[in-house]
Amino acid sequence: MSVWRGQVVVLTGASLGIGAEAARVLAEQGARLVLAARNVERLQGVAALCRIHGADVEVVPCDVTVEADCRALIARTSARFGRIDTLVCNAGQAMWARVEDVTDWSVYERLLRVNYLGAVYCTLAALPHLRASKGRIVAVSSLAGKTGVPMRSGYAAAKAALNGFFDSLRIELMESGVSVTIVCPGFVGTGSRARNVGPDGVELGRSPVDEAAMMPVGECVRQLLDAAEHRDRELVMTARARFAMWLKLLVPSLVDRMASTAMRRGR
């Protein structure tokens, strides 16, 4: 029997990409789902697919940059299901611009609010429920949060903040029974890069890289849920990425060059 059967899972950023695929897989495994995102129409489509698998699903419109929305998300979950077993902080947005080309400086604040503060708000609201259930927190970060990459300075900074927060929280919760798993994917073919913001703060409307050359979203979600199930501390998804993290300790300048090459190739 799946460990997720009957579990109440809150998923932010559930309208597309990793969040939508995770919702579908969890529905197949019998989880009860609360799906949150800004785009209600897309959320309803994801929820409909989950219900085909017999899942009990609550759809909650939520902008994670708004503290009140995050509080309301957790309150709706508690009112509907009476508990929270897992919180997956997946909502995020990236950028694609060289630092010196950025003309709308508010991009940096926006990315910090979406990628970092949104996860903090949801976690603070959910923590009493997760303590009660000895549940799981899954923070979807990025390799960019572990080593800076060109074109993504604001995104990398926000994900580094995310990593620092959840590493600290994990230690504080060490004796509580609540696990904290930080997931650091590389390039994943989510189709969401059209939402990357450019130097003027406007979404690009197209992916700047070849999505077909990336890790399939299904493989990413398989690894994510396996790490969450086993309450792993951290997941770095590929052998090449794990090698790069080790190499950074020894020859950091080489990892800088590797990051530059990877961004040019989009993989």
Catalytic-residue membership of 155: yes
**Taking the CB of residue 83, how many other CB atoms lie within 10 A of it?**
15
With beta carbons less than 8 A apart as the criterion, state whether 73 and 118 touch.
no
Q: Which one of the listed residues 108, 116, 121, 155 is annotated catalytic?
A: 155
Question: Which class for 71: exposed (0-12), middle (13-18), buried (19 or more C-beta within 10 A)?
Answer: middle
Q: Please compute Rg for the chain using Cα positions.
A: 18
How far is the C-alpha of 166 from the C-alpha of 119, rounded, in Å?
A: 9
Report helix angle 217-229 to 17-28, nearest 10. Answer: 60
Q: Please give the positions annotated as active site.
A: 155
